[in-house]
Amino acid sequence: MTHDPTGSTSTDRRSFLQAGAVAAAAVSVGHAAEAQEPDRGKPEAADKALGIPRRPLGKTGIDVTMLNAGTGRGAGIQRILRYAYSQGIRCFDTSQRYQSEGDFKQWFQAEPAVRKEVFVVTKDLPRTPAEIMPMLDQRLAAMGTDYVDLFFVHSFGDNHSLDDAIAYVKSKEFKEAVAAVKKAGKSKLVGISTHHRNRAQILQAAAEGGIVDAIMVQYSPWLDKDAPLNKALDACHKAGIGLISMKQLAGHFLGTGQKRNMLDEVKEKVPMLAEKNLTPFQALLHAIWTDERIASSCVSMTNTDQIRINSDAARRFAPLKAADLKSLRDADLAHGPMLCADCDGRCSHAAGTTAALGDLTRFLTYHEHHGLRSHARECYDALPAEARDWQGADLEAARAACPSKLDFARLLPEVDRRLS
């Protein structure tokens, strides 16, 4: 238990969150897409690296910047990478799927010295441990580097039964594959990334297995202290596994159908925002970093304004008091989060439907908040028909059952309108 300047303890901060409320995630610092972009990175801006706090990545012996630049598809990734670097971000995230590895290659070729200064994470989908090494070789070739700092088995659990995923992460074969990768110097660390609905069980297995170095996990700062995921995070933290949060901002404060400007309303309800001169999204990041188990937050940033605002949040981070966390949580939930953040499917069960309500809202968030429109439609199309058909479902019962209180009656017609 650590003490902060507020006088509360970190355990207190986690424990107060009893509401069982789990927020949705997404970055809408992204609303600033139309805002004036700041100057491109100037040489002196690199000094700001010193201003972005770092945290130990579990017991790996490596400190990472608390803000991790998630990269995605699209134009202008080169500019995003360089601007993030100029703002002091030294942790970068990509994957085989994101199609941004080629941008890293160009960056490293143009500025070879950068490679050693950044902590680079990539991912792929090895169905078996034996596939890890050849897939990692492909990723290294795509990025034009002979090593990465961290390799994740991507979307862990999505391509296996839960039993198989649990067996995988504890298996002798996985342990040997990880050792071989490290011995070859191709990745310093190996772990898993997961947004699986049963990720609490997967994390518990990883903590018991003692093989993975780090886990990137879909996270919410509003976890109930008794929630299985909260307990699994404790187990991983105790086991020395470095924890990176993801999908933590998207889907908040979107305000569809609101009469007033939602962000102004939130500012009225959460006085701390004005006192600290924080945007609601910056405050959400502060809420996440108040959880000292989280070493770094991977935030998908698609324009320089998002990078500037999120970097500023990191530089000015101070742990939030319990009362401020609570008012921020209440304002967040009152404003109808969009993304299913702690999915165990209880909404569908309560609604008496085979529709995958959590998945549908997640894909809507990809579309609306991340700007991943074709990816969102691909995900939607990949669902079986019965998982898309929510007609006849008791949407009020679903909302009541959902810890994030997703407003399905508002969101699902939007899903049909935008994705079908």
Binding site for ligand SF4 (CB under 6 A): 22, 340-347, 357-358, 361, 401-404, 406
Least Å from the CB of residue 360 to ligand SF4: 9
Least Å from the CB of residue 224 to ligand SF4: 12
Residue 218 in tokens: 């879909």
Residue 217 in tokens: 């996990």
Side-chain half-sphere exposure of 240, counting CA atoms within 13 A: 10
> Strand ranges (DSSP E) for 104-253?
119-124, 148-153, 187-194, 214-218, 242-246
If the CB atoms of residues 182 and 346 are measured against ligand SF4, the closer one turns out to be 346
Could you tell me the CA-to-CA distances from 260 to 256, 266, 269, 327, 332 in Å, in that order? 10, 10, 13, 19, 15
Least Å from the CB of residue 406 to ligand SF4: 5
Could you tell me the CA-to-CA distances from 28 to 40, 186, 206 in Å, in that order? 21, 35, 32
The residue type of 203 is L
The dihedral sign for the CA sequence 41, 47, 52, 58: positive
If the CB atoms of residues 30 and 403 are measured against ligand SF4, the closer one turns out to be 403
Q: Are strands 148-153 and 187-194 parallel, antiparallel or unpaired?
A: parallel
DSSP 189: E
Residue 228 in tokens: 């299985």
**Do the beta carbons of residue 211 and residue 35 sit within 8 Å?**
no
Least Å from the CB of residue 362 to ligand SF4: 8
Residue 373 in tokens: 């429109």
Least Å from the CB of residue 341 to ligand SF4: 6
If the CB atoms of residues 150 and 338 are measured against ligand SF4, the closer one turns out to be 338
Least Å from the CB of residue 243 to ligand SF4: 20
Least Å from the CB of residue 342 to ligand SF4: 5
d(CA 71, CA 301): 7
If the CB atoms of residues 134 and 392 are measured against ligand SF4, the closer one turns out to be 392
If the CB atoms of residues 77 and 340 are measured against ligand SF4, the closer one turns out to be 340
Beta bridge partners, 395, equal none
Least Å from the CB of residue 229 to ligand SF4: 11
Name the residue among 287, 249, 310, 294 with its Cα closest to residue 69: 310
Least Å from the CB of residue 393 to ligand SF4: 12
If the CB atoms of residues 23 and 84 are measured against ligand SF4, the closer one turns out to be 23
If the CB atoms of residues 320 and 364 are measured against ligand SF4, the closer one turns out to be 364
Q: For 59, phi and psi rounded to 5 degrees?
A: -105, 30
288 CB-contact burial (10 Å; exposed 0-12 / middle 13-18 / buried 19+): buried
If the CB atoms of residues 323 and 400 are measured against ligand SF4, the closer one turns out to be 400
H-helix or E-strand spanning residue 217: strand 214-218
If the CB atoms of residues 215 and 347 are measured against ligand SF4, the closer one turns out to be 347
If the CB atoms of residues 178 and 351 are measured against ligand SF4, the closer one turns out to be 351
d(CA 170, CA 182): 17
Least Å from the CB of residue 386 to ligand SF4: 16
